[in-house]
Amino acid sequence: MNRKIALTLLLTASATSAIAGPIEEQIRFRQSAYSFAAWNVAKIKSQVVDHPETFNKDAVAAAANAIAAVANSGLGALYGEGTDKGVGWKQTRLKPEFFQKKAEVTVAANTFNEAANELAKVAATGDVNAIKVQFGKVGESCKGCHDLTRIKE
């Protein structure tokens, strides 16, 4: 009897951790990915928009490549079923409707990927004005996805 209870407890515990672990990991990884992207976005903003006199071609190109790398890393894999609830570094703000809007989400995500890849290309040229324009498009693509999938603060 005691062994049965122990076995049940063990199985329950492992089953819970098998679900909770990956979900919270997915949330944590994606939060980290966007934080890292945000740092690089902030650097470009600073050197291209706010203080163009500090523009450094290599730094901006590196930042743009980092954003593109995040975009191309297959982030979709971090949006598994059930990841609309859970705590990564903090509570996720993914809308539950996310899972019913897969088609729209895919379009929005691809818009971001394309915009980020284009930004990396433009950044390599060092043309500040062209970078500024494309940077705005990346921002729009971020917003497109946020409006669709993220619960407002």
Partner 1 sequence: MKVTIHIWDLPLRLFHWLLAVAVAAAYITAKIGGSLIDWHGRIGIFILGLLVFRILWGFVGSTHARFLTFFPTLPRLVAYLRGRWQGIGHNPLGALSVFALLAVLAAQVGTGLFANDDIAFVGPLFNFVDKSVSDRLTGLHNTIFDLLVAFIVLHVVAIVFYRWVKKTNLVVPMLTGKKQVPKALAGSITVSPARGFGAIGLILSLIISCTVVWGVTGGIAYLHPAESYQQTAQADPGF
Give the interface with partner 1 as residue ranges (CB under 8 A).
Answer: 34, 38-39, 41-47, 49-50, 54, 56, 59-60, 63, 132-133, 135-137, 139-140, 142-143, 146, 152-153
Residue matched to tokens 């190109």: 61
- Please report how close the Cβ of residue 102 comes to partner 1 at its closest, in angstroms: 23
- Nearest CB to partner 1, comparing residues 22 and 45: 45
- Please report how close the Cβ of residue 112 comes to partner 1 at its closest, in angstroms: 11
- Please report how close the Cβ of residue 101 comes to partner 1 at its closest, in angstroms: 19
- Please report how close the Cβ of residue 23 comes to partner 1 at its closest, in angstroms: 22
- Nearest CB to partner 1, comparing residues 79 and 135: 135
